[in-house]
């Protein structure tokens, strides 16, 4: 059963692939109107085409503060200022050991994984308060917020920061009826780890820590996102919902 999102207006970043794409499709299935955002123009067009004529998208480079402003401004124009949901799913992973990690890769990772969710959340919250909308923000974090990955220093740092960004914003905006939560996936089959999945030995090592013995599909994480974006968890805010097949149980 899909979460009831009928009539809700939702911005979904990273919507051209992976968890973002699955979230856009799942929210639309629940009745939401989707404003897809991604820097992959061709991939974005395919997803918008899958969603149908009631939905739209915008190609944007979320590294830039100006692009974040443009996304929210365009969504406001499209929906006459009514934004109910923001899903911050856009993220990158650069695998470089700490001692060799480049400043460029560090800055790029933080710009997309942390600064963009902050900028978008701040602008969406301002819109919600202005219009008296009791909305929801869902950030896509990671179990790497508490369990670091080897060679993932920037990614791990960004996801740890997302956890506290969620809690901080949730604390401030709760009086306005705005909820902010995080879903923390474990190993999910996305483009981020496509190279590892092509190597059976590497992929087996990746899955070794998951008691369920398998990876998640993006749709499984999208189901959690849809629930958190809906009105069902109406008293849940500042939470991190772990969806990792049991990885963090040991």
Q: Which of 35, 155, 227, 247 is catalytic?
A: 155
- Residue 190's H or E segment, with its range, is none
E strand residue ranges, the chain:
9-13, 33-38, 56-59, 85-88, 136-140, 179-185, 240-243
CA atoms within 13 A on the CB side of 228: 28
Q: What is the distance between the alpha carbons of residues 123 and 115, in angstroms, rounded to a whole number?
A: 12
Tokens of 134: 């009791």
60-93 burial by CB neighbour count: b if 16+ within 10 A, else e? bebbeeebbeebbebbbebbeebbbbbbbbbbbb
CA distances from 66 to 50, 110, 123 (A): 28, 16, 12
DSSP for residue 244: S
- Is residue 176 part of the annotated active site? The answer reads no
Rounded Cα distance between 9 and 31, Å, is: 9
Q: CB of 29 within 8 A of CB of 7?
A: no
Q: Which residues are tagged catalytic?
A: 155
């Amino acid at each position: 059963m899909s979460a009831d999102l009928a009539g809700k207006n939702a911005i979904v970043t990273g919507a051209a692939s992976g968890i973002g794409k699955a979230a856009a499709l799942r929210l639309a299935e629940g009745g939401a109107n989707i404003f897809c955002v991604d820097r992959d123009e061709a991939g974005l067009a395919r997803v918008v085409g899958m969603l149908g004529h009631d939905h739209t998208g915008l190609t944007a480079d979320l590294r830039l503060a100006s692009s974040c402003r443009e996304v929210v401004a365009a969504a406001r124009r499209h929906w006459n200022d009514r934004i109910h949901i923001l899903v911050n799913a856009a993220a990158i992973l650069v695998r470089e050991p700490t001692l060799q990690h480049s400043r460029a890769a560090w800055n790029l990772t933080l710009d997309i994984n942390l600064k963009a969710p902050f900028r978008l959340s701040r602008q969406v919250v301002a819109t919600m308060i202005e219009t008296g909308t009791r909305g929801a923000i869902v950030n896509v974090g990671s179990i790497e917020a508490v369990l670091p990955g080897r060679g993932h220093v920037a990614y791990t740092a960004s996801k740890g920061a997302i956890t506290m960004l969620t809690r901080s914003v949730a604390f401030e905006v709760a009086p306005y009826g705005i909820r902010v939560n995080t879903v923390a996936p474990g190993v999910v089959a996305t483009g981020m780890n496509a190279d590892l999945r092509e190597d059976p030995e590497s992929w087996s090592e990746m899955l070794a820590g998951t008691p369920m013995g398998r990876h998640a599909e993006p749709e499984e994480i999208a189901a959690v996102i849809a629930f958190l974006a809906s009105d069902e968890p109406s008293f849940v805010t500042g939470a991190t919902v772990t969806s990792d097949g049991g990885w963090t149980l040991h």
